[in-house]
Amino acid sequence: MATPCRLRLRLRLLFTLLVAVAVAASHPAHEFCAAAGGGAGGCGGGGDGTRILIKGGTVVNAHRAEEADVYIEDGVVVAVRPNIPVGDDNVRVTDATGKYVMPGGIDPHTHLEMEFMGTVTIDDFYSGHAAALAGGTTMHIDFVIPVNGNLTAGLESYKHKAEKAAMDYGFHMAITKWNDEVSREMEVMVKEHGINSFKFFMAYKGSLMVTDDLLLQGLQKCKSLGALAMVHAENGDAVAEGQQRMIDLGITGPEGHALSRPPVLEGEATSRAIRLAKFVNTPLYVVHVMSTDAMEEIAKAKREGQRVIGEPVVSGLVLDDSWLWDPDFATASKYVMSPPIREAGHNKLLQAALSSGILQLVGTDHCTFNSTQKAFGAYDFRKIPNGVNGIEERMHIIWDSMVETGKITVTDYVRVTSTECAKIFNIYPRKGAILEGSDADIIILNPKRSFAMGARTHHSRSDTSVYEGRKGKGMVEVTISRGRVVWEDGNLNAVPGAGRYVRTPPFGYLFDGLDKSDAVYRASLRAPVRRGEAAAA
């Protein structure tokens, strides 16, 4: 006969399992996943069968922080509440007392295994994911580059690259030329492949850059599809002129990169893109906002009610351009990216804009090249491959520079590193939250532990880091990716092929009510005027 103690234990286990089954069957997040298409691996799940109970921590979502336990089963969050009992020896229990339990980071801006400037970024979909997981990021959205302008060929190439993915990922699509075929392919990307964002380069003249007339057509197409238009905002014509000016002055080193594309060119292009988006009446997402010039244009547009998203990147928030004048080329060249890292002062104002909501989420523009690749431009800065690291460092740096200094709260931290991205790209609450039914992408951060960064310890394949020697407080001790513990106590378990493609549905919240504002605009025209009839009367 069972003792009263054993009977109570069995009843407690039965109750826990009944709650788990009921939540898994009925929670709205599962309905959301079904509607979203679920990606290559279906909706939710994907764990290794391990059941995990995280006890005693402070669970932080963008809307609130609370003392609670988190129970995970089959890769999905099943319960979030205080004092969840342990009723089975097969449940892995993790003590998070004194620590923060938060959604894994989502990086909205990366370039893995990208062909660029005559070479290929050093991190692929395995090494990049290994770095991300070690740094507390559990999903990213990468940019598909078309093949000779062909979107379908570009997507097929990136699908192949992503076969080694170790964590979940999504895709943006770059638009590098415009014709009827590209317009048709955009519709296919949205409706058949789950891509709800398209990037237009206003820079890189002669390769990726699109002109204003093509950008206008692209904005109109994005609006019709419910897809978000994104812009790399620099005046490409002026940049080309600035580059030649520096060469003519004999300035060929990395400092010439920054001097050739000053903040005014980023501000001008940002302003132009915002006004064109206003003309079309469609939302706009400005990637890697690096200067106060660009930030102020975004702030002005938002004050006037326009739907503009501003994305700073971690390098722009905490670094300055002084390194570009370093006498050692290898040191200076690793800081070359576009738009450039700006002079001191821009970073502090960008931090203030992030804390006040003018800028809404933080990316990395992780686009890594090793020192050998950077040396391609040893005698001409125009040939230095543009890009820096950040996918592993972002979560730690934002905590140390923004939370530890009191600029943002812990809930703001979750918002700018995870939740806002999930909402913008229409995958919330499946991603970006610790709620019943959400994917179990979770980190445990110890605010008392310190970190140190450098190329010798990071998981990127690059032999350099723009954060070399940086130290701070706030350490991600555990990373859980869809129910699998992939980072714990400095040990990484990133499995090639374990990652899953996440479809991003169109018509996210930024499109709500646009039809009404369009109707108001049409009503305001008071046209056409029927002059012939008026004269006859």
Residues 303-318 pLDDT 10s = 999 999 999 999 999 9
Answer yes or no: is pLDDT of 272 > 90.
Answer: yes
Answer yes or no: is pLDDT of 176 > 80.
Answer: yes
Answer yes or no: is pLDDT of 10 > 70.
Answer: no
Identify the pLDDT of residue 534. Answer: 58
Rounded to an integer, the average pLDDT of 259-283 is 98
- Phi, psi dihedral angles at 234 (to 5 degrees): -145, 145
Answer yes or no: is pLDDT of 28 > 60.
Answer: no
Q: Is the dihedral of CA 431, 437, 440, 442 positive or negative?
A: positive
* Other Cβ atoms closer than 10 A to 8: 12
Least confident range of 84-98, 114-128, 341-355, 444-458: 84-98
Identify the pLDDT of residue 536. Answer: 61
Nearest residue to 411 via CA among 56, 105, 57, 64: 64
Answer yes or no: is pLDDT of 36 > 90.
Answer: no
Identify the pLDDT of residue 517. Answer: 96
Residue extents of the structural domains in the chain: 104-473+498-515
Nearest residue to 142 via CA among 218, 195, 68, 83: 195
Identify the pLDDT of residue 208. Answer: 92
Identify the pLDDT of residue 48. Answer: 61
Rounded to an integer, the average pLDDT of 59-75 is 98
**Residue 443 Cα distances to 91, 480, 533, angstroms:** 18, 6, 70
Answer yes or no: is pLDDT of 394 > 50.
Answer: yes
Calculate the CA 403 to chain-centre distance: 19
Cα 469 from Cα 450, distance rounded (Å): 13
CB 394 within 8 A of CB 314: yes
Domain 104-473+498-515: give its CATH architecture: Alpha-Beta Barrel (3.20)
Identify the pLDDT of residue 49. Answer: 66
Least confident range of 35-44, 106-115, 140-149, 368-377: 35-44
Query: What SS3 state is found at 125?
Result: coil
Q: What percent of the chain has pLDDT over 90?
A: 88
Cα 246 from Cα 325, distance rounded (Å): 14
Identify the pLDDT of residue 1. Answer: 41
Identify the pLDDT of residue 32. Answer: 24
Q: pLDDT digits over 469-516, tens only?
A: 999 999 999 999 999 999 999 999 999 999 999 999 999 999 999 999
Nearest residue to 104 via CA among 476, 506, 497, 516: 476
Answer yes or no: is pLDDT of 395 > 50.
Answer: yes
Q: pLDDT digits over 93-117, tens only?
A: 999 999 999 999 999 999 999 999 9
pLDDT band at 40 (very low <50, low <70, confident <90, very high): very low
* 32 or 426, which is more confident: 426
Strand partners, 100: 58, 445
Amino acid type, 371 = S
Rounded to an integer, the average pLDDT of 154-163 is 98
DSSP structure class, residue 252: -
Provide the whole-model pTM: 0.91
Answer yes or no: is pLDDT of 33 > 70.
Answer: no
Identify the pLDDT of residue 17. Answer: 38
Rounded to an integer, the average pLDDT of 74-99 is 93
DSSP structure class, residue 273: H
Identify the pLDDT of residue 27. Answer: 31
Please state the length of the chain: 537
**Residue 433 Cα distances to 110, 131, 204, 417, 441, angstroms:** 21, 22, 37, 11, 8
Rounded to an integer, the average pLDDT of 132-152 is 97
Where are the extended beta strands (E) located within 176-287? 197-201, 228-232, 284-286
Cα 29 from Cα 109, distance rounded (Å): 25
Q: What percent of the chain has pLDDT over 70?
A: 90
CB 290 within 8 A of CB 340: yes
**Non-local CB neighbours of 449 within 8 Å, separated by 6+ positions:** 473, 474, 475, 477
* Other Cβ atoms closer than 10 A to 440: 29
Calculate the CA 304 to chain-centre distance: 26
* Other Cβ atoms closer than 10 A to 368: 30
Answer yes or no: is pLDDT of 87 > 60.
Answer: yes
Rounded to an integer, the average pLDDT of 6-24 is 38
CA atoms within 13 A on the CB side of 68: 18
Identify the pLDDT of residue 341. Answer: 98
Let me know if 51 is exposed, middle or buried by CB neighbors in 10 A (0-12, 13-18, 19+): middle
Cα 402 from Cα 348, distance rounded (Å): 11
Enumerate the H helices of 135-179 as residue ranges.
151-161
